[in-house]
Amino acid sequence: MELTTFWFLLIGVLWAGYFLLEGFDFGVGILLPVVGVDDRSRRLAINTIGPVWDGNEVWLLVAGGATFAAFPEWYATLFSGFFLPLLLILVALIVRGLAFEYRGKRDGVVWRRRWDTSIFVCSLVPAILWGVAFGNILRGVELDAQHEYVGGFFNLLNPYALLGGLTTLVLFTLHGAVFLALKTDGPMREHAGRLAARLALLAVPVAAAFLIWTAITHRDGWGIALSAVAAATLVAAIPLTRARREGWAFTATGATLLIAVAALFVTLFPDVMPSTVDPAYSLTVHNASSTPYTLKVMSWVAVCFTPIVLLYQGWTYWVFRKRLKLSDIPA
């Protein structure tokens, strides 16, 4: 396997891990006004992701850093062409982190309500914009012969990309509801389970519409096969959520996100950013990559340190595996 292909696949794995883990973080934040009927219940919901949310964001940092090092041309075009949406995502992630840390610094009702609203908004915005961004990457954008984006901001708000944003929104929200049902007990568990059952019925047609549109547009055999598997796991989540089999339901929604990202990258390959102006202007794993020596050094670093990071994060989830109850939250 060529090193350019290896790093393209590794970046796909990093994005899949980010969507899997940060996806339920976003979902819990989006559902906070729904499941949080009072301050204690909102604190319970936040505590389910409290020990892990910042570690989950490391996957985004590593994915961005790997893209910068392995495919600098892709990184430059992506972050210049998508500057405004990526800036909005960055601001939302910063404010959301502040909200988690600062909402408990005072006992005032208004103080906490404002930070809770920030958690909701700053979870909603990235959940939509990540889908819009990847929808545009898969669809292709206006790149000229110098691989520079020549379109405008509103060119990114095309129907296909907006459907991609709606898809990530409903999938992350469903994933978050299942996670809440998995991590809590008592009334919160029952409430989150009912929400998950309803959200699953909404997620299936939305995701199916996006996958069918993608299959018709690209006609990639492997991408279609993976999309079909992702659709099957999502459909399987419906009876699992209704039966309150939270562990299996979380496995199903997690598998849906992982396989959907895999389908996206398989469909995209060998392009990393197709051009709608002229296919010859597209960025590929070959013309956007670093030198072979750089990729070789990075590969050894990845082989040495990636297992350590995975083991540490897995240990973190094991330590905080216990279900939480409302009685665990002091008045």
Does residue 331 surpass a pLDDT of 80? no
Residue 107: pLDDT band (50, 70, 90) is confident
What average pLDDT score do residues 196-204 get?
A: 92
Q: Which two tokens stand for residue 109?
A: 């009702």
Comparing 37 with 145, which gets the higher pLDDT? Answer: 145
- Give pLDDT, residue 221: 83
- The string of pLDDT tens digits covering residues 146-184 is 888 888 888 888 999 999 999 999 999 999 999 999 999
Residue 45: pLDDT band (50, 70, 90) is very high
Domain boundaries, the chain: 3-140+147-323
- Give pLDDT, residue 1: 64
For the domain 3-140+147-323, what is the CATH code?
A: 1.20.1630.10
Does residue 330 surpass a pLDDT of 80? no
Selection from 40-44, 174-178, 214-218 with the highest mean pLDDT? 174-178
Does residue 53 surpass a pLDDT of 70? yes
What average pLDDT score do residues 71-100 get?
A: 93
Give pTM, 2 decimals: 0.94
Does residue 110 surpass a pLDDT of 80? yes
- Give pLDDT, residue 320: 87
What average pLDDT score do residues 84-100 get?
A: 94
Does residue 32 surpass a pLDDT of 80? yes
What average pLDDT score do residues 30-54 get?
A: 89
Residue 284: pLDDT band (50, 70, 90) is very high
- The string of pLDDT tens digits covering residues 223-246 is 889 989 999 999 999 899 888 889
What average pLDDT score do residues 63-79 get?
A: 92
Residue 198: pLDDT band (50, 70, 90) is very high
- The string of pLDDT tens digits covering residues 286-316 is 988 998 899 999 999 888 888 888 898 889 8
